[in-house]
Amino acid sequence: MIPSPTDTEALANRINLHTRDAHNKVDTRLSIKMAFVMRHDFIYIDILKNFFLIFYTIESNINSILNCDESDNEQLFRTREILNQFYVNEFRRTDKTAQDLHFFQIDTDKLLQEKLDGSLPPRLNEFIQYIEYNVQKDPLTILAYCHVLYLALFAGGKIFKSTFMRNMGFLNNYKTELSQRELILNVTNFFYFSDHPQEELKLKLKYKENYELATRNGLTEPEKLMIIDTSRDIFRYVYNIFEEIGQSNREKLLSFRNFRIISFLLDEWKYDTDNSKSKSLKFMFGIIKYTLLIIFFFLLWTTIKSLYSLTK
Buried/exposed code over 76-87 (b: 16+ C-beta within 10 A; e: otherwise): bebbbebbeebb
Show the CA angle centred on residue 100, arms to residues 171 and 95, nearest 5°.
170
Q: How far is Cα 59 from Cα 98, in angstroms, rounded to an integer? A: 13
Stretch that binds ligand HEM, among 23-31, 35-43, 103-111, 251-259 (CB under 6 A): 23-31
Residue from 10, 11, 26, 142 touching ligand HEM (CB under 6 A): that is: 26
Give 12 or 101: the residue with its C-beta nearer to ligand HEM. Answer: 12
In the bound state with ligand HEM, the residue whose beta carbon lies nearer, of 87 and 235, is: 235
Q: Which residues in the 228-247 window bind ligand HEM by CB under 6 A?
A: 234-235, 238
Residues 135-164 that bind ligand HEM (CB under 6 A): 147-148, 151-152, 155-156, 159-160
- Cα gap 204→244, rounded to integer Å: 30
Tell me how far, at minimum, the Cβ of 203 lies from ligand HEM, in Å: 12
Which one of 26-34, 137-145, 191-199, 303-311 is the stretch in contact with ligand HEM (CB under 6 A)?
A: 26-34
Q: Count interface residues toward ligand HEM (CB under 6 A).
A: 19
Distances (CA, A) of 83 to 147, 154, 311: 11, 20, 91
The verdict on 190 binding ligand HEM (CB under 6 A) reads no
Per DSSP, 193 falls in state S
Determine the residue type at 172. N
Which residues within the stretch 30-59 sit at the binding site for ligand HEM (CB under 6 A)?
30-31, 34
Nearer to ligand HEM, 11 or 76 (CB): 11
Contacts 24+ apart (CB under 8 A), 188-191: 188/100, 188/161, 188/164, 189/96, 189/97, 189/99, 189/100, 190/48, 190/51, 190/93, 190/96, 190/97, 190/100, 190/153, 191/153, 191/157, 191/158, 191/160, 191/161
Minimum separation from the CB atom of position 178 to ligand HEM (A): 27
Q: By CB under 6 A, name the one of 7, 16, 203, 278 that touches ligand HEM.
A: 16
In this complex, which beta carbon is closest to ligand HEM, that of residue 102 or of residue 236?
A: 236
Task: Provide the minimum distance between the beta carbon of 191 and ligand HEM in the complex, in angstroms, as a whole number.
Answer: 12
- The residue nearest ligand HEM at its CB is 156
CB of 274 to ligand HEM, least distance (A): 19
- Please, where are the H alpha helices in the chain? 11-18, 20-37, 41-66, 74-86, 94-103, 108-117, 122-137, 142-152, 156-166, 180-187, 197-216, 221-254, 259-271, 275-311
Residue ranges in contact with ligand HEM by CB under 6 A: 12, 16, 23, 26-27, 30-31, 34, 147-148, 151-152, 155-156, 159-160, 234-235, 238
